[in-house]
Structure 1
Amino acid sequence: MANILIVEDEKANSDAYKRALDLNMPSNHIITAENEEQAELLISNENFDVVITDLAMIDDKSGMRVLACAKAKDPLVMVIIVTAYADKMDRYLAFESGAFDCIAKSTPGLKTTDEIVAKTKTALFFRSMLQEQIQIQKKISVLKRYFDPKVFSEIESNSDLLSLKNRLVTIVFWDIRGFSKACEILKAHPKAIAGFLKDYFELASNVIFKNNGVLDKFIGDGVMAIFGSLNDRDSDGSEGASFAALAALELKREFEKLLTQWIDQWKLYSAQTIDIGLGCGLHTGETLVGNVGTDIRDQYTALGSDVNLASRIESRTGKGQILTSETTYVRLSSRFKFDESDIISDIKNIPGEYKLFELVDIR
């Protein structure tokens, strides 16, 4: 249902416009105002899809002021100006100011009410199209946050890459160990924490994109990424696992550099030692990957028990430690150095024993 405002100081005209719209567009909500002051008050308190305003009321600029008021409230509102002085009206100025259309009351052979109905229907159609395009652009802007620009250009030309499919991928989780304690120490200086998180998230995003990964989400002080989901040639998941390992090692190094810089800053605010470090967990498995959600909010992500396992592996890491599952290890052992770490069997809701390996470096 659309909200339509009629602004007309001649009651006979106002009633005629409203009757015509009610008859031809009965599902819409139509409100009338007798002058520009009433119109401006209504516009300030309600949202309108279309405003139909007479040009000359208090003076011959009244309609232009209603137009300006409506556009200031909602740039997408469709404003139709009706005037008996079409020959004196600066139509160019009206269109430059954002009017959707201008209607002359005295058009030969055409009832003004018929034209108002036709133009209102067209205005609502255009408004709907604009809103749809804006939503598409917003969705594109959101998606761009998760993909490297080079990868996103491929996605724009082949949207099937985002469809929900079972894929063999490597899931990576990062989390800052000791971060809650650091926040407690610096609680009087929230900007010092916020600035560090901003730098850390930017660093993580750049490292993930550089290594052909997809940024899935930020979770508090944690990061989740997917590697190999957009590479159909990587049939056994080895390439995705390799990029994930490279990203994990690179982010570990770069995080330590970033942390050194910020510790120097934090010393200005607290004499207490701040001891934090980055933990990282990797697991390779088959997950459901693609766009999930609704038209209002969707996200490219991975779903399934293998995602949970990757998260649980990350939760076992210490500061500066990178742990992988055996399925990741077997794909990387010829190219990367590992230390055998542990066998875990107490993962919540995931039965069985799992051998973990600590990723140390490239061979």
Structure 2
Amino acid sequence: MLADILLISDQRELCQQVTDILSEYDVDCCMSYEASRVCVHQPVRVILVAENLKGTSGIELFDNLRNTRPGVVGFLIVDKGDTATLCPAAMESGFSGLLACPLDPEQVREKVGRAMEAAALREENSRLRALLPLYGLGENFLSSTSQPDVLESLLDVIADQTAADSLSVMLYDEEEGFLRIAASRGIPEDMIAKIKIRPGDKIAGRVFEEKKPVILNQETQNDSRFADLLKRPEIVSAVSFPMIVRDRILGVLNVSYTDGDIRFADSDIEILGILSTQAALALENIRTRESMAQEARLQALLEQYVAPEVAKVLLASDANLIRGLGAVKVATVLFADIRNFTGMVQHLPLPVLRDFLNEFFQVFTETIFEYRGTVDKFMGDAVLAVFGALIELDNASWTAVETALAIRDRFAVLKTEWEKRDAFFSSIDLGFAVTRGEMFMGNVGSARRLDYTVIGTEVNIAQRLASVATSSRIYITEEVRDDLAGQPKNDWKVLLEDVGEMTLKGVHYTVPTFSVLGIEKSGTVETVESGIEPRQIN
């Protein structure tokens, strides 16, 4: 565990006194000659420096430390009589204040406490800023049409975040059996084609084989298990990160500095891990689509993205599918998104948010596939599914409503499980909408690359309705209600509540809306929303 506070002093008595005063924090003490090494490896929040040190002054030492840690908060510990004399020099060196000996415990706790709160706030702001390019990158991935597009988006974001001297993505070529550079920054062009690494060879090959990231900082790299593989002494810090999706490794992301005093820490691994996972998912998407024409592999690959029945239709349709999808067609869409997602981003640590979203999308995908629908796209905290488009359904609206009810029930179970980990999850909810009508269903590409999507007013209405649905309500339009009249089972009935006509943003007319209460099956009612009072939303 990393310390909150680092005290640099050659006096054991002072170390014990400060540790006792700041007992609520994790305080680490070191001698003056150890300070530079400790600061490189330990990204503490606050540094306390005694002025009287062996062979140097606290001000001079802190000046040197700030070359390694430019933004660190520091307090200079001085004798009370030296306060006025040393204060100007301390402020010029970047100290946030002085602590006078004999130490006043209340004053020390107050000053350090404020500094710790400010440092924590800066860290949280940095964490949130790191999320923004992550979701922007996800949007870019959705619109990317090729592997180079995905990789360039990845390098753009990492370059903005790190300002690294050298970046590269090495992807594994299964036929050749080597890792090769697929995209890079700061690497001479004549070197790129020459570089090829077998799994297990060199640092990138070892990371690929072990599927574990590695940090190499100049001061500690000789102690690394990779020490025998280091060939470039000019590198001052580097990270190699495996790009993994669904337990399958696609390649290795390499980030390095050849100049300056920047060092990598575990927090960098966390951010790079999320970005690499997003990129790996996008690359896998593209590779799957590009291999659709290879019938021997197509069905296994397609079933990762669509229901098995849909995959069979795609296989049987072959080239005619391309012409058939570019048309206006009547279909049903289901839109669902998370309520209070902004709160989730602000409240939850990145790993927790990532794990929850992965489980959330897994529930959606599996349920939609189970009911023979198609996942059109993920949009941050929302999912759009289409029914009755790629394959015929007896009643696409009925199937979409059943799917929404099933998702709602399964989400409730998922929510309960996550509430045990963090009470914040009790504040999240879902909004659903099901609409039906004419919409354009088209694709971009060829038989080897198919990008299928839906566009139309009904899609927009579904998104708007879902955005105002609360308490896991399922809103449907008048067209869906009419379509439910032809229900596939005579003894089953969808129970509805008229919530009136809604005025939706971006829609120039009011939309008659109904809320699904449940399904009545042979005299029994299942999945009725309990405690929901009829109401009208304008």
Q: TM-score, normalised by structure 2?
A: 0.40
| Alpha-carbon offset, residue 243 of structure 1 | 0.8
**Distance of 1:155 and 1:71 partners within structure 2:** 38
Contact 1:341 1:357 (C-alpha < 8 Å) held by counterparts: yes
What's 1:331 paired with? Answer: 483
What's 2:155 paired with? Answer: none
Alignment of 1:164 onto 2:320: no
What's 1:205 paired with? Answer: 365
| Alpha-carbon offset, residue 70 of structure 1 | 5.0
What's 2:433 paired with? Answer: 281
**Distance of 1:229 and 1:273 partners within structure 2:** 35
What's 1:355 paired with? Answer: 512
**Distance of 2:397 and 2:425 partners within structure 1:** 36
Aligned residue runs from structure 1 range 1-363, under 5 A:
45-47=191-193, 72=198, 136-137=290-291, 144-159=303-318, 160-161=320-321, 163-186=325-348, 189-232=349-392, 239-267=395-423, 274-292=426-444, 298-333=450-485, 335-348=493-506, 350-363=507-520
CA separation of 1:265/1:346 partners in 2, compared to 1, >3 Å: closer, same or farther? closer
Contact 2:289 2:450 (C-alpha < 8 Å) held by counterparts: no
**Distance of 2:413 and 2:317 partners within structure 1:** 38
How many aligned residue pairs are there? Answer: 233
Structure 2, unaligned stretches of length 5 or more?
1-186, 200-286, 488-492, 521-538
Q: Which has the higher contact order (CA 8 A, sep 6+)?
A: 1
Q: What is the CA deviation profile of residues 256-275 of structure 1, one whole-angstrom value per residue up to 9, with x for unaligned ones? A: 000000110124xxxx6740
**Distance of 1:183 and 1:289 partners within structure 2:** 33
CA separation of 1:212/1:296 partners in 2, compared to 1, >3 Å: closer, same or farther? closer
**Distance of 2:315 and 2:443 partners within structure 1:** 14
CA separation of 1:138/1:360 partners in 2, compared to 1, >3 Å: closer, same or farther? same
Query: What is the letter of the counterpart of residue 341 of structure 2?
Result: F
Q: Secondary structure at the match of 1:351?
A: coil
Q: Secondary structure at the match of 2:421?
A: helix
**Distance of 2:446 and 2:356 partners within structure 1:** 33
**Distance of 1:216 and 1:222 partners within structure 2:** 11
CA separation of 1:231/1:148 partners in 2, compared to 1, >3 Å: closer, same or farther? closer
Percent identity, please.
25
Query: What is the letter of the counterpart of residue 331 of structure 2?
Result: V
CA separation of 1:298/1:253 partners in 2, compared to 1, >3 Å: closer, same or farther? same
What's 1:76 paired with? Answer: none
Q: Secondary structure at the match of 1:244?
A: helix
Q: What is the CA deviation profile of residues 118-177 of structure 1, one whole-angstrom value per residue up to 9, with x for unaligned ones? A: xxxxxxxxxxxxxxx997327858754431123212212213345322221111110011
**Distance of 1:259 and 1:337 partners within structure 2:** 25
Contact 2:291 2:449 (C-alpha < 8 Å) held by counterparts: no
Q: Secondary structure at the match of 2:401?
A: helix
Q: Secondary structure at the match of 1:242?
A: helix
Q: Secondary structure at the match of 1:302?
A: strand
Q: What is the CA deviation profile of residues 310-347 of structure 1, one whole-angstrom value per residue up to 9, with x for unaligned ones? A: 11111121131110111001112563111111212343
What's 1:100 paired with? Answer: none
Q: Secondary structure at the match of 1:155?
A: helix
| Alpha-carbon offset, residue 299 of structure 1 | 2.0
| Alpha-carbon offset, residue 297 of structure 1 | 7.2
Structure 1, unaligned stretches of length 5 or more?
1-40, 49-68, 74-132
